[in-house]
Amino acid sequence: MYIQRLKISGLRGVQNAEITFGKHSVLVGPNNNGKTTIIEALALLLGRDRLVRRLTEHDFYESRPVETSRILIIATVTGFPGNDPQHSPSWFAIGCGGVEKWLDPNTGNLAASVDDQHTELSVQIAFSARFDLQELEAETLRFFVDDEATLGDPFHEDTVVTPISSKTLQEIGFFMVPASRTWDKWISFTSELFRRLVATLGGLPASAIRDARERLWEPEAGQKLEEQDGLTTIVEQANDELGNLMPSSPKLQLRVTGTDSNSVLESVVPHFAHGDGPTLPSARQGTGLTSLQSLLLLMQFGKARADANKSFVLAVEEPELHIQPSQQKRLVNRLNALCDQTIVTTHSPIVAAMFPVEATYFVDNDDGQMSVSPLSKTAPAGPTNHKQHLFFAWRQKLIAALMHQRVLIPEGISDVAWLEALQTALELRQGWDSPEDEQSKFSTFVGVVPTDEAKIAETHDLVRCVHRHCAILVDGDPAGRDYLTELNAADPSPSAAIIWPKDWKIEHVVTWIAEANLAQVLPRLAEANNTAISDAEELSTFLEGRKTYAPTQEITSAILMGEAACRKRAAQLLNALCNTLLDPSIESSPLFVRETEDGAAMPTFRFAPPDDV
Amino acid sequence: MVAHARYLIEHDALDEGQRMLALTFMNGARRRLTESLNAEALFRRKFDCLTFDSFAQTLARRRNAKLTDEMRQQAGEFGQFDGPCFLAGELLKDAEVRRWVARTYPLVLVDEAQDLVDVHRQGIILGLIECCAAVVAADGFQCLSDGQDTADFMDQLLHAGTPHMLTENRRTDKNGLLAAALAVRNGEDIRAVLKEETIGKTDRVHWVGEGIELLEVPATAALLAWNLAFQLRLGSDDVGILTPDSTNTIIRNAINTVSEKQGPWPHNAFSVAWEGGDNRIADELTEAIEFPTSASYREICALLGEHLAIPTIKSVDRRVRRLHRVTGQSEFEKDQLVSFVSDAVRNNTRLGFNKSTKIKAMSIHGAKNREFDRVIALWPQSATGSDEHKRRLLYNAMTRAKNHCTIIVLGNGRLNLAPFALS
């Protein structure tokens, strides 16, 4: 079984969201966009009751619930055994079950009756919550959705809903691994997961536990704590006092545990031994090891369910936490192979890149309206395809760029290389007390998407589907102007456009940075590149000739950023660019002149180098 | 019927999580069937007893997505009760829906199926017998809707299953009563199976048999009251006073007299309560509370707070508070509150909360599927309908008695007519 679609409304920062999941999905996107909210919505709907935190006012959209405020989460569950309701009587029956819906796997639409398109047996289930302003706590409900179109307020007296039992929900086998993990608690009998696993796989080690309890309860002669040298005096005194107070003269005895089986179980602490080294408790281990062990435990649990032909759906927040990249890949692949469905959130381009593009979902949140779109609806075909390049060779870079608040698509790959090289060189020079005008915030807010030469429009088409704030950067030549015209007509158009000055390319911009102190840097540039460069114009020409040679860009950037005046100028450029992209509705800024009218769909700015050069 | 269901359950008709669905026509019957099923350990927690209407409403609501606009429109024309039954019947034509029902209810029990005179409720049964093991009990003669016969439907039922003919009345073992009831059923002269006797000083004639007494009383309220009181003095535990016309003035007045008069005879009043008086109760409550045309939440709470000792008002109060908390409604109109009161009264009746030890008076229709230790049937001239219908009514009234039935015929010289004799 798996979750095909999830609708969320009124939960935390999400006023409305509708998400279609694949079997294995990864959710990426900038922080605070609601990735965790999606996972928590799943937990509220599918998780064990005790996993569901008590909801507070802050779990309601805008944190100020009124009488009619509702959290509503509706999931479409599909993939039932045999695609036949007869095999799942707890899901499909009058009384305590739900109502059959038939899913069209191509469109994702549901129909009440089966037909040629609507072939997959599905059911809709929901979680709803309201906040009671008198009792100051949330009232929650999990139920089957019989007809989404006519679903009223489930808390209203006129609405009758069929509650879904937690026993039925458990058939989905949903398990969530939250980002805040208390790993060392996992392999112990206080852990729900561990107990479930033990119960599934072979039962409690009852006789060993009973033996241990017996030993701890009645220690052998000479082993009793109260008989040890340091304690006897205290114990005897206490016994004398007690004897004076109570006729039965109770005797004080000291035991290591509560001496019932449960306290023995709960005092189990996982230990690890590396090679011949000492056995150490998990609290003394690196977090990486305990993380791994716990995920492995989870996999055992999944394996047990899979072997028993039971469903297992896993939601993991940030699997990259504490785990080195080489292990991440194997772990994620193993989890995907094991589960009916995995839903993973990540900040790691490495983890994200392990999922196919059609399973890579980008989470965007526009003031409560959340949209979650796959990078591509289908996997691109054909090796020459530009998308193929972007989705495979550049997947990690692309995803890393998309995790920024603003995305910039330059005209060609040399722009990307230069922006990166300058930014990196500048940041290497930055200390805590660098002057403010030498610091750049560009890379914090703006992600640069790698672009094949002349593929700016295609790249934009693709990126704009998943990111609302998507700007383009073009050369100051007629071709650049043509791109502006072409993309201005696109629907949707880029959220902003930047054009270099007339006849300028990025190399001219680099030269402009060098001109902050040309006399100082030119000889060094000539020497490092092992060539003769006599003036600014020659520098531009030289750099243009080496546009596909990364070492030139890196060496040049390093030399330029070693010079304070150049550094200042680079920071000025990058920060101005960043500000313009963050708020394209502004009028011209010192370095960028707006070419378009107020309210244009694609505000366009031209770089205008200050006259002080 | 119950025996057959027991047989099926004993032979594993129900899997884990499955239940038997018991359907009745009215809520009173539902409560009584629930009671008698609960009395058997085998059935306990293994059945749901619903009225046709509530089963149909559930089906129509939950499978709403399968309905067409056409069906919905048609249902609208059929009204509040028949509409959902029509929809349920339509839905049960869908094999997926039938299996959906059968997955929980592989076994269906229907009592008094002869009352299912309308095609909609018949449709529900016909749909259910396609997918479930159904035990349907019906006695064509006990259908009390004049002019509507269920013979066709019964034929369909008979063809769908194995009929078991039950000829014996199992409610009573009083031979006189059994013989008299059979005579009425067969359209024969009831007096033929009874013994004629004269009563005391007046030499008035009555007819008696084991468990049965038939007498004529002149059609005046005073005399009827006197006779009624006399009958009640013979025993007033679990008595049902049944009549084909509960609006008859003479009967109404006589019952009032019996329940109020504190004279030398009949010495003390018998407490008799008419059943089916929900509207009257609701009206009285509404009047007592004096709802304003419109009021704020606080005002309404204060007002209801003065009457919380009355359970119905307490539930109205709970409903108002819940509504305020869930929807934020803060202004309440009189109409809404009045409807809350009548809902609460109706709910009370439905759940059988207003139990009283009083002697109950009701129409024969209202007595369907019930039983009393003693039945007093009051037969006024105003009983209407065909001879066959009258016979069915009287038969029904008589078969409600476990121990004794007294038939009081109002007015003289009517015993030669139906339902007492072949007309």
Structure-model confidence comparison of residues B152 and A535, the more confident one: A535
The predicted-structure confidence for B325-354, as pLDDT tens digits, reads as follows 999 999 999 999 999 998 888 888 777 665
Q: Note whether A99 contacts B96, CB cutoff 8 Å.
A: no
Q: What is the ipTM of this complex?
A: 0.77
Q: Note whether B328 contacts A146, CB cutoff 8 Å.
A: no
Nearest to A149 by CA among B64, B91, B76, B83: B64
Q: Note whether B325 contacts A160, CB cutoff 8 Å.
A: no
CB contacts of B48 in chain A (<8 Å) are 95
Which residues are CB-neighbours of A526 under 8 A, at least 6 positions away? A532, A533
User: May I ask the CATH architecture of the domain B175-271+358-410?
Assistant: 3-Layer(aba) Sandwich (3.40)
- Whole-number Cα distances in Å, B49 to A159, A280, B22, B192: 22, 62, 4, 41
Give the A-side interface with B, CB within 8 Å: 66-68, 85-86, 89-90, 92-97, 99-101, 112-114, 130, 132-134, 146-147, 149-150, 153, 155-157, 160, 162
Residue A311: both structure tokens together: 């469903």
CB B350 within 8 A of CB B30: no
**How many Å lie between the alpha carbon of A417 and the closest alpha carbon of chain B?**
56
Inform me whether the pLDDT recorded for B279 exceeds 80: no
Q: Note whether B104 contacts A93, CB cutoff 8 Å.
A: yes
What integer pLDDT is reported at residue A434 of this predicted model? 78
The predicted-structure confidence for A544-573, as pLDDT tens digits, reads as follows 998 888 899 999 999 999 998 999 999 999
Residue A59 host element (H or E): none
Q: Is the peptide bond before B266 cis (omega within 30 degrees of 0)?
A: yes
Nearest to B403 by CA among B174, B170, B234, B178: B174
What integer pLDDT is reported at residue B100 of this predicted model? 95
**How many Å lie between the alpha carbon of A34 and the closest alpha carbon of chain B?**
27
What integer pLDDT is reported at residue B160 of this predicted model? 65
| Residue A310 buriedness (CB in 10 A; 0-12 / 13-18 / 19+) | middle
Q: CA nearest B95 in A: which residue?
A: A113
Q: What is the spatial distance between Cα B225 and Cα B170, in angstroms, rounded to a whole number?
A: 32
Which residues are CB-neighbours of A464 under 8 A, at least 6 positions away? A470, A490, A492, A494
* Angle (deg, nearest 10), helices B278-289 and B334-351: 140
User: Which mean pLDDT values do the consecutive 10-residue runs of chain A (613 residues) have?
Assistant: 95 92 89 87 82 80 93 96 93 93 92 94 96 90 93 91 90 83 64 74 81 88 84 87 85 85 83 84 74 76 86 88 80 86 89 86 88 79 70 86 92 90 87 79 91 86 89 94 93 93 94 92 91 90 89 92 91 92 85 89 92 57
**How many Å lie between the alpha carbon of B97 and the closest alpha carbon of chain A?**
9
The predicted-structure confidence for B197-206, as pLDDT tens digits, reads as follows 887 777 778 8
The predicted-structure confidence for B156-181, as pLDDT tens digits, reads as follows 766 666 666 555 556 777 888 888 88
Q: pLDDT category, B145, cuts 50, 70, 90?
A: low
Written out in words, the top-level CATH class of the domain with range B2-160 is alpha beta
Q: pLDDT category, B139, cuts 50, 70, 90?
A: low
Q: CA nearest A114 in B: which residue?
A: B96
CB A78 within 8 A of CB A28: no
Polymer length of chain A: 613
CB contacts of B104 in chain A (<8 Å) are 89, 93-97
The predicted-structure confidence for B377-418, as pLDDT tens digits, reads as follows 999 888 888 888 888 889 888 888 888 899 999 888 788 887
What integer pLDDT is reported at residue B257 of this predicted model? 84
Which residue among B58, B66, B325 sits closest to A112, beta carbon to beta carbon?
B66
- Whole-number Cα distances in Å, A589 to A252, A583, A605: 82, 11, 9
Mean pLDDT confidence for B21-39:
85
A91, A94, A125, A168: best to mutate for the B interface, most B CBs within 10 A: A94
CB contacts of A92 in chain B (<8 Å) are 100, 103
What integer pLDDT is reported at residue A182 of this predicted model? 63
Q: pLDDT category, B144, cuts 50, 70, 90?
A: low
What integer pLDDT is reported at residue B345 of this predicted model? 86
Mean pLDDT confidence for B84-95:
94
- Going edge to edge, which strands form the sheet with B359-363? B195-199, B204-209, B212-217, B401-410, B372-379, B239-243, B359-363, B272-274
Q: What is the average pLDDT value for chain B, to the nearest integer?
A: 83
Mean pLDDT confidence for B359-369:
81
Inform me whether the pLDDT recorded for B91 exceeds 90: yes
Domain ranges in chain B with CATH number 3.40.50.300? 2-160, 175-271+358-410
What integer pLDDT is reported at residue A89 of this predicted model? 92
The amino acid sitting at A287 is T
What integer pLDDT is reported at residue A483 of this predicted model? 94
Q: pLDDT category, B150, cuts 50, 70, 90?
A: low
